[in-house]
Chains A and B, each alone.
Chain A
Amino acid sequence: MIIPLEHLLVFGAFLFAAGIYGALTRRNILGILLSIELILNAVNVNLVAFSRSTSLSPETGQIFALFVMALAAAAAVVGLAIVLALFRIRKTVWTDEINLLKW
């Protein structure tokens, strides 16, 4: 059975909205990082879905998704490293307690 494109797009949109919501509302930095991963994966879903249904060569979208995953992994590494360094000096992971940039 073939899942129609619309279902996949709705799913991707749901994932994206969940990611945005998480990124905006989470107090925990780790939560924000996870939410960002959700957003990236929503994009991946869209890429794969569009590549299967509309592209002449379906592999293009899949390879692009793989690149995004690799980049997400790299971004997560950098992000986690920052979080660790921050935790060492501030002893906290709550964003409302990290306000060094405030005026």
Chain B
Amino acid sequence: MILLPCLIPLLPLAAFAVNLFFGKRLRARAAWVSVATSSISCLIAFYCIATVVRTGTMKAQWVWIMLENTPLRFGYLIDPLACVLLFVVTVVGTLIQVYSAGYMHDDPRFTRFFAYVSLFMSAMLTLVIASNYVLFFMAWEVMGLCSYFLIGFWFEKPSAADAGRKAFLVTRVGDVGFLAGLMTLFAVTRNLDFESLGASAQAGGPLLAVAALLIFCGTIGKSAQFPLHVWLPDAMEGPTPVSALIHAATMVAAGVYLVARSFPLFEIFPDVLTVVAITGTLTAFMAAFIALTATDIKKVLAYSTISQLGFMVAALGLKGYGAGTFHLMTHAFFKALLFLGAGSVIHGTGTQDLREMGGLFGKMRHTALTFLAGSLAIAGVPPLSGFWSKDEILAAAYQSGHGIIYYVLLLTAFMTAFYMFRLVFMAFFGKPRSPGIHAHESPAVMTVPLWILAAGAVLIGLPGSPLMGNWLGRFLAGPHTHGEHALNLVVMFSSILAGLGGILLAWLFYVRAPQLPGIVARRASLLYRMSLNKLWFDEIYHVLIVRPFCFLADLLYGFDQKAIDGIVNETGLATVRTSRLKAWIDTYLVDGTVNLVGALVQLSSALVRRIQTGFVQHYLLMILAGILVLIFLEFRP
């Protein structure tokens, strides 16, 4: 029974092994191996969640390594926070895998896709239930690897291969910080377990603040926060279900989960929390600003993801522990839904460019309706899920006393509603813009997960809403009692106003008066170009980091080629030369001596064997001669 939660990550791992080794024989059945294991994990996770709700945290630990009397353990810890993530990851993950079976149907590397996805599920679930930082970090890195594999899944396209590499390298920057943070933490407290983190961190000095900041670097990388957000939009080169699973719902949320897990540590240092809050707010605003002008349907959603992750991070930075986690959960549902809807649109139309779409509502009714539900949820229209979670974050910001953060987040919420409905109106309403596109609805294997996720996007906010008495908040709060927020009507009304205002403005711009966007773009030309060029982040990084590194690499390559290889080659040539000399000595001097001895023996024996005539009488004569000699010697005078 104690080992039951271990099965949650182990089952997808088994599916990974099966798909990896028997994929060729399984073919289309590979999808069902992954889906089946994931579903069973989901059921076990539900059982564990029920147990936690009834009886409290489940945990077990085993000693792994002894480091000078300090044990390094591994094990699982399923507390309310882990429960939320377990629920999200298993449910959303399973649905997305069902959807992938339809979406990836014609791909030649179908089985490999499901092997990777299963490996990812295994790593993500390990991360969720990990009881300490070491196991957490290992799972974190495996996820990064899977992310790299899946972004570059269509590696024949150079852009996909580049995007995979970019994602891997950029997140690595954050991971180095994370690892350094773990080392600092361990050096100070001698403890990496989550459960006793708060107690052991109490005694720490300023070095722990450094550790907290370094750990936050991991979040910046993985959750695509400013300034390491540049990899996530490019990650959209991967298959759309991957974008939904890894780059929207689960993996990028792991960074937020990391901060939530380390919350007892962050809590001690208000300054660090301020850094977290500012980073989150800045990211949320910046990404929403860029999303305003993006024309690729997946890029809009990618920037939206960055923005929403910024919301979560900001919430955690404002001590809204429950609010951030709540938003993580609702976001996973509606963003997975939006990505899968976008995938369905791409599947049906064959294009990702919003400017070529239009009027899809009539042709793709299931996709359009579910997409609309997701958009309403993210825009924050009550009583859909996004409203409740975003409202809690805004309330946390309002109460924190950081007025600027509150207003920036409110503005971001307004922009979120605007860009989402810009997307909806451009894609699904109006007239078809491109005559070459003949849209068709996707098969049931893709639309059924959409409907289930849509139901989730609509309803999943209720457990955390005042309608159910903030049940989720109280469930999560446990030791963190400040997760409680009274119903704040000012915040609620301004939030509703921001959401509806954004939708209305989008309707005005893209349905009512389609000439308006052009006019605005001309009037605010600088702002427009800033948004369109993504604030030139890629270009700045290219000049500041990529170019010097390439130059350095070229330099080192030259050095390697000339100096190191030169020395090695000279050594080799010298060896060849000396061995030639040795070969000559061996052939002529050593072999000569040996052959000379042999020749001498042959020569002397050629002389001696003349005596052996073969005539018996000759031998007899010699005997006689010998006897005569003996006699002569005997009778010598």
Binding site for B on A (CB under 8 A): 20, 23-26, 32, 95-96, 98-103
Contacts and interface: CB of A to CB of B under 8 A. Distances in A.
B613 interface: yes
A5 B133 CA distance: 129
B551 interface: no
B479 interface: no
Contacts of B620: 23-24
A98 B618 CA distance: 13
B616 A95 contact: yes
B624 A96 contact: no
B578 interface: no
B621 A24 contact: yes
A63 to B, nearest CB: 27
Nearest to A102: B614
Contact of A102 (B613, B617, B621, B624): B613
A95 B624 contact: no
Interface of B: 609, 612-617, 620-621, 624
| Minimum-distance CB pairs A-B, first 3 | A102-B614, A99-B614, A103-B612
Contacts of A32: 617
A23 B617 contact: yes
Given A20-B624, A24-B624, A100 B614 contact: yes
A32 B620 CA distance: 11
Contact of B617 (A24, A100, A101, A103): A24
B617 A99 contact: no
A103 B609 contact: yes
Contacts of B615: 95-96, 99, 102
Contacts of A103: 609, 612, 614
A95 B612 CA distance: 15
A99 B616 CA distance: 8
Contacts of B621: 24
Given A95-B615, A101-B614, A102-B614, 13 more contacts: A20-B624, A23-B617, A23-B620, A24-B621, A25-B617, A26-B617, A95-B616, A95-B617, A96-B615, A99-B614, A101-B616, A102-B612, A103-B609
A19 to B, nearest CB: 11
A23 B613 CA distance: 17
A103 B612 CA distance: 6
A32 B617 CA distance: 9
B606 to A, nearest CB: 10
